[in-house]
Structure 1
Amino acid sequence: MKRTALILPIVVIAAAVGLSSIFIVDEREKALVLQFGQIKAVREDPGLYFKVPLIQEVVRYDDRILGLDIQPLEVTPLDDRRLVVDAFARYRISDVRRFRQAVGAQGLTLAESRIDTLLQAQTREVLGSVTSSEILSQDRAGLAARIRDAGRTQAESLGVEIIDVRLKRTDLPDQNLDATFARMRAEREREAADEVARGKEAAQRVRAQADRTRVELVSDAQRQADITRGEADAKRNAVFAEAYGADPEFFDFYRSLSAYRASLNSGNSAMVMAPDSEFFNYLKNAEPKAAAPAAAPAAPAATQ
């Protein structure tokens, strides 16, 4: 019983030591075997490996392609038109030994900070050598390739391979963007004012033309009316003259009756006239003048 009690702990300790000396490397990662901080072995192929328990440790690194969003930065192209560029990069750890020596125990945190710094510098250098029109055109893929190639050379010292760099967004700074929007708004307001002014000018022309046409039509109608009225007055005067010439006394009598009707109508003002005025001649004479004897009928013509 005592022997079993002694063997059991030894077996457990031996199993724990045996298990701690075994580690597995996945196909998605690489591993370093460290002994007191020094690199003793590099394990890049997937499989089962051994290490010295309690003395050696295993540090694993991702062997897949990793992504990094570069901090947005302002660049000044050749035409001095400042732009805010937002980019991202794809990278992978190509040399874990060099990577460990470059960044130490901080690992990806320090590595991504350095990658971000060097890509920002290359972005400023590449985009600063072209105009803003080239940056905003379809040539931006070529510019991103130049940034990638320049950053790849410097990233080799970190044990990192820059696989790709892409420009996600290229905008104006906020202050420039506000000024651009204000300029665009002012331009649209100016165009709107021009359209309104042209519309008012066209309306004024149409209104003036309509007024002119109206005046011409009214003038022509007035002229035609005056001509018609004049012709009517001429015919009326001719009728009056013919009637007056046929029987002047009857014409005077008719004109007097018309004057009596107009002047003695109810509602007219009172008239003060002398009793012997010629206006009342036809009212004072009770007896009408004797009519002229009718002409004798013509004798019938003699028959043969």
Structure 2
Amino acid sequence: MSKNGFITLLVVLVITALVQSIVIVRDTEKAILLKLGAFERTLEPGLNFKVPFIDTVTKFEARLRSLDTPPDRVLSSEAKPLNVDSFVKYRIVDAETYYTSTNGGQSRVAEDTLQRRIKDKLRNEFGKRTLNEVVSGDRDGLMLSLKKSLGEDSAQLGVEIIDFRVKRIDFEREIRASVFERMKTERNRIAEELRAEGRETAEKIQADADKQRTIILANATREAERTRGEGDAVATSTYAEAYNRDPEFYDFTRSLRAYRNTFNDQGDILLIDPDSDYFKYLNKSEPN
């Protein structure tokens, strides 16, 4: 081999060794370094180095994962059968534990293990609750208990449970009618409570409206009486002033007003002495 060929080969080997020694770990990944197949250390995100041909790197997806479990048959505390469909959101947080507990980081092994534990948790949590509590109880509390219970065991897999949700609960045919009747009764109870609250609120509003009406009428009556009194006082003062200026003319106008009020209807009949003061001004009038 010529000298130039040897140098070229050496350069290629050096470049290859450098390339093989550089490892880039993204923020969305978890990675571990294996030395001769045995765990050595966990790699941090960014630029890392390894020994070529001796060290190997295994990477795992660190972003959120979903596991949709098949419907499982569970029993309530009264031994009533239920079909529960659920799903789990999780992510890898400990790459070393995940690698060692899943036979080298096999996703299928991790999901099978999680499914078995999910079934156990569903049976345990539903077994503590009656059918009524499952149907009308605290559903959020149930799922929170499931998430907490599963999360305590998930650390053994190196994963963190982000969410645990029950998508659907189906009832067996023999209990479906009783469940629907119970749901109907519960809804009717809630509706009656709402109606009672509505009636109570309506009565309060009506009572307040009646109170305001009474107050407004009383104020209006008082104001009307005051205004009427002021008007009567002005009228009396006006009459007195007119009488003081010309008593004879005042008597005459009062007599005319009395005649008009007395004979307002054509059918009115008045029996009175013709010489009475009532006809004083009529008797003084001269016929045309």
Q: Give the counterpart letter for 2:13 in structure 1.
A: I
Which stretch shows the higher mean deviation, 62-71 or 23-32? 62-71
Q: Tell me whether 1:80 sits opposite 2:79 in the alignment.
A: yes
CA distance in 1, matches of 2:89, 2:71: 16
Is the CA contact (8 Å cut-off) linking 2:24 and 2:47 kept in structure 1? yes
Match of 1:103 in 2: 102
In structure 1, the gaps of 5 or more residues are 185-304
SS in 2 for 1:105: coil
Aligned residue number for residue 141 of structure 1: 140
Which AA in structure 1 matches 2:115? D
- How far 1:10 sits from its partner (Å)? 1.7
Identity of aligned residues (%): 33
Amino acid across the alignment from 1:17: A
Corresponding residue number in structure 1 for 2:215:
none
- CA offset digits 1:10-66 (Å, max 9, x no partner): 21121111101101000101110001221112113x211100001110000121121
CA apart distance, 1:146: 0.5
How far the C-alpha of 1:132 sits from its partner, in A, is 2.0
Aligned residues: 178
Alignment of 1:38-57 (within 5 A): 38-44=38-44, 46-57=45-56
Deviations along 1:186-217, one digit per CA (max 9) or x if unpaired, are xxxxxxxxxxxxxxxxxxxxxxxxxxxxxxxx
1:99-152 deviations in whole A, cap 9, x for unaligned? 222112142211111111111101110011112222223622211111111111
Please report how far the alpha carbon of residue 71 of structure 1 lies from its aligned counterpart in structure 2 after TM superposition: 2.4
Structure 1 residues 54-87: Cα deviation after superposition (integer angstroms, max 9, x where no partner): 1110000121121111221011112332110000
Distance (Å, rounded) in 1 between the aligned partners of 2:79 and 2:30: 46
In the alignment, the residues of structure 2 paired with residue 160 and residue 180 of structure 1 have an alpha-carbon distance, to the nearest angstrom, of: 38
User: Partner of 2:123 in structure 1?
Assistant: 124
Q: Which residue of 2 aligns with 1:24?
A: 24
Q: Distance between the aligned counterparts of 2:144 and 2:56, measured in 1?
A: 39
- Give distance in 2, aligned partners of 1:98 and 1:26: 20
Q: Is the 8 A contact 2:26 2:46 kept in 1?
A: yes
Conserved? CA contact 2:125–2:142, under 8 Å: yes
- SS of the aligned residue for 1:148 comes to helix
Q: Does the aligned pair in 1 maintain the 2:68–2:88 contact within 8 Å?
A: yes
Contact kept, 8 Å, 2:77 with 2:127, in 1: the verdict is: yes
1:197 aligns with none
| Structure 1 letter corresponding to 2:27 | E
Matches within 5 A, 1:200-219: none
Local SS of the residue matching 2:125: helix
C-alpha contact 2:98 2:105 (8 A) present in aligned 1: no
Q: CA RMSD in A?
A: 2.0
CA distance in 2 between counterparts of 1:147 and 1:37 reads 37
The SS at the match of 2:31 is: strand
Q: TM-score, normalized by length of structure 1?
A: 0.55
Counterpart CA distance in 2 for 1:10 and 1:119 is 56
- In structure 2, how many angstroms separate the alpha carbons of the residues matched to 1:28 and 1:102? 21
> Aligned partners of 1:36, 1:137: CA distance in 2, in Å?
57
- What's the offset of the Cα at 1:3? 2.0
Looking at structure 2, the residues matched to 172 and 138 of structure 1 have their Cα atoms a distance apart, in angstroms, of: 16
